[in-house]
Structure 1
Amino acid sequence: MNPVFAALDTTDLDCARGLAAAVAPHVGGLKLGLEFFLAQGLANTAAVAGATPLFLDLKLHDIPNTVAGGVRAIAGLKPEFLTIHTAGGSAMMRAAVDAAAEAAAQTGHRIKLLGVTVLTSLDDGDLDAVGQRGPAADQVRRLALLARASGLDGVICSPMEVAALRADLGADFQLVVPGIRPAGAALGDQKRVMGPRDAIAAGASRLVIGRPITEAPDPAAAARAIAAELAA
């Protein structure tokens, strides 16, 4: 299984289509996020993903009834993964789990729900500034344990937390990891990063890689190189 989801972080439909066509044969799935979904809607999101597994990164965060409604609203897309914020609390997460189960009875497809713990753009100082208890690794662990107890399929976490979370949460819990930077790639706005092979070795289930693929001179070649690195 190729664990890489290529993040197509754009609002431009033609750009997303071109990138998807180029990299889909060389990755395990495509990630489309809030900016694309808001700009292009359900139909174009489905068109870009095609038959490639879709990671729909919407980071839903609202009262339980609204988040459950959001899960039902996108169920027809049949994404493999959908993100919600663990900071919404257990009742919200359980409502999303129930909605996913109800939708699966109608569509035949069970969406895997992933909890967002601490964004990889945040470090300990950022957490202090918004009144959250740090360090970041401790906050990630608290939220990940809450996500598992609430019935989620996995969490999003930085590479730096993977090994500890794998020990805490067991082999079957999905740990989906952004902040992946192959050797020589620019860090951009990511502060907690790791290389692809190291992240998998630490226990990551899936890797989310955006700019090192999509902003490369040849995105297909960049995706192939990462796949080859992971297979070596």
Structure 2
Amino acid sequence: MAISDRIIVPLDVSSQPEAMALLDRLPQVTFWKVGLELFVSSGPGILTELKSRQKKIFLDLKLHDIPNTMAGACRAVGGYGVDLLTLHATAGKDALKAGQLAAQEGAIAAGNPTPNLLAITLLTSLNARTLAFDLKIPLELPEYVLHMALLAKESGLPGAVCSPQEVEHLRQTCGDNFLLVCPGVRPTWAESGDQRRTVTPAAALKAGADYLVIGRPITAAENPVAAFERICEELEGGRGEV
């Protein structure tokens, strides 16, 4: 797989026309993330547009509900032909299992490949202090993230979303076939923004990430194409900080 295919760029805009402009500006990008804001504002039309351009789709809805509702939502997503879909691991094993089965049913009915369901372990905007003091979870952050990933694996999900700071531990414990997607990845020349647990792209890949979600360092750059190409070149040339 080419390095450029392992970088997922978020369409973090509020409307489909804005998304189309970004797609036109970055034709080199093969894998795009559609999050809550864009999906709520544009509906599945943006997914149809991405598929018409032969792009891969990470539908990052972070579903979290009772098993029956999760199943209904995942069944509908199975019909869209997306590649990745996120659910919160904290929805519990029954909901994760229901979502996985329903996504497969929806995909088969539509003649699509089954999307890979990824469990959200812990949002990268949260840190150990938030976990302990705000959420009142007594586990240490790495232990909690590992528990959520193992819960997802035991529920039959093929992968998880985690901070690149935890990816090496998860890779060692969950195995080589467990898909790991890492947001919170920032080149050394980019600001971290509201992501609190970040590392460089090269370090994340070296630790075992399958895909990297890299947004603002590319989309908010003065020249997004140059920023995307710079990241790819740093990874291919091994010049990233590891």
Provide the TM-score with structure 2 as the length reference.
Answer: 0.92
Instruction: Please state how far the C-alpha of 1:221 moved relative to its aligned partner.
Output: 1.4
| 8 A contact 2:57–2:82 mirrored in 1 | yes
In the superposition, relative to structure 1, how do residues 184 and 80 fare at CA in structure 2: closer, same or farther (>3 Å)? same
User: Which fold has the larger relative contact order, with Cα–Cα distance below 8 Å and residues 6 or more apart in sequence?
Assistant: 1
Q: Secondary structure in 2 aligned to 1:180?
A: coil
| 8 A contact 2:77–2:103 mirrored in 1 | no
Matched, 1:122 2:126: yes
| 8 A contact 1:16–1:48 mirrored in 2 | no
Structure 1 residue ranges (4+ consecutive) displaced by more than 3 angstroms after TM superposition: none
Return the letter of the residue paired with 2:13: T
1:178 aligned residue (159, 183, 187): 183
The answer for the alignment partner of 2:217 in structure 1 is 212
| 8 A contact 1:42–1:74 mirrored in 2 | no
Instruction: Give a deviation string over 1:20-77, Cα, whole Å, max 9, x none.
Output: 222242x340001011000110113321453100000000000011011101112232
1:144 aligned residue (140, 149, 166): 149
2:164 aligned residue (159, 163, 166): 159
1:36 aligned residue (38, 50, 63): 38
The answer for the alignment partner of 1:56 in structure 2 is 59
Q: Secondary structure in 2 aligned to 1:160?
A: coil
In the superposition, relative to structure 1, how do residues 148 and 180 fare at CA in structure 2: closer, same or farther (>3 Å)? same
| 8 A contact 1:24–1:52 mirrored in 2 | no
The answer for the alignment partner of 2:88 in structure 1 is 85
Identity over the aligned pairs, expressed in percent? Answer: 41
Return the letter of the residue paired with 2:113: H
Instruction: Please state how far the C-alpha of 1:132 moved relative to its aligned partner.
Output: 1.7
The answer for the alignment partner of 2:240 in structure 1 is none
Alignment of 1:193-212 (within 5 A): 193-212=198-217
Matched, 1:16 2:33: no
Return the letter of the residue paired with 1:101: Q
| 8 A contact 2:78–2:112 mirrored in 1 | no
| 8 A contact 2:79–2:107 mirrored in 1 | no
Provide the TM-score with structure 1 as the length reference.
Answer: 0.96
| 8 A contact 1:24–1:30 mirrored in 2 | no
Q: How many matched pairs?
A: 231
User: What runs of 5+ residues in structure 2 fail to find an aligned partner?
Assistant: 238-242
- CA RMSD for the aligned pairs? 1.2
